[in-house]
Amino acid sequence: NGINASSLPRPVDPCALFARAPELAGHRVFMFMGRVAPVQKGLDLLLQALALANLPECRLVILGPDWRDGRAFLQSLTAQLGLRTQVTFLDGECPQRCADLMAGADVFVHPSRWEGMSLAVLEAAVWAKPSLLTPAADPNGALGREGGAVIVAAAPETLATGLREMAALDRDTLLTMGQRAHHTAVTQFTWNRTASMLLEAYRNGHRLDRR
């Protein structure tokens, strides 16, 4: 996947998240955005990680459309893990609303077990959000390599370590990471570059077939 950064809406209401969920104000906010598909997106692992991390001042927002009753499963798991005060579920929204809600988050998190190049990851990067990702959510390693994301294995223990690491970072460091994520997205994930890579892959495949 690629992304056309100029067509992505820019945040116009940076207070939207706290107007929607006032209880988040004053906390370090991690946000997942995407289909609420617990297994593929690793959201069960993320909740277990939050419980292990023991970060009472941190909050997790799960933003996105329900997928095959995934939200009900996660809400039940949230209660089992004693995380009701730390986890907020928000419905999927239009692109502009997503941009506004994302503006209130400190860290974007996408703990997929498997993934292509997630458009949600690229959108968060264009919006200059530092990220906590699994290798599946950064498949060519660009965001991790360029310093725009912390990459950890898709397991509760490693995700908990990543949450603690991101929770300990000061805002200036997070801002710098976000700027690096933005630069990576707008330079390495343009549609023109993606198309050129695809054409080159076909050409290389064709040459291999002829040998």
Q: Residues 87-143: pLDDT tens digits?
A: 999 997 899 999 999 999 999 999 999 998 999 999 999 999 999 999 999 999 999
φ and ψ of 198, to 5 deg: -65, -45
Distance CA 145, CA 147 (A): 6
pLDDT, position 197: 87
pLDDT, position 54: 97
Q: Residues 148-168: pLDDT tens digits?
A: 999 999 999 999 999 999 999
| For range 33-42, the mean pLDDT | 97
Q: Residues 46-75: pLDDT tens digits?
A: 999 999 999 999 999 999 999 999 999 999
**Percent of the chain at pLDDT above 70?**
97
Residue 211 has pLDDT above 60, yes or no: no
Distance CA 17, CA 101 (A): 5
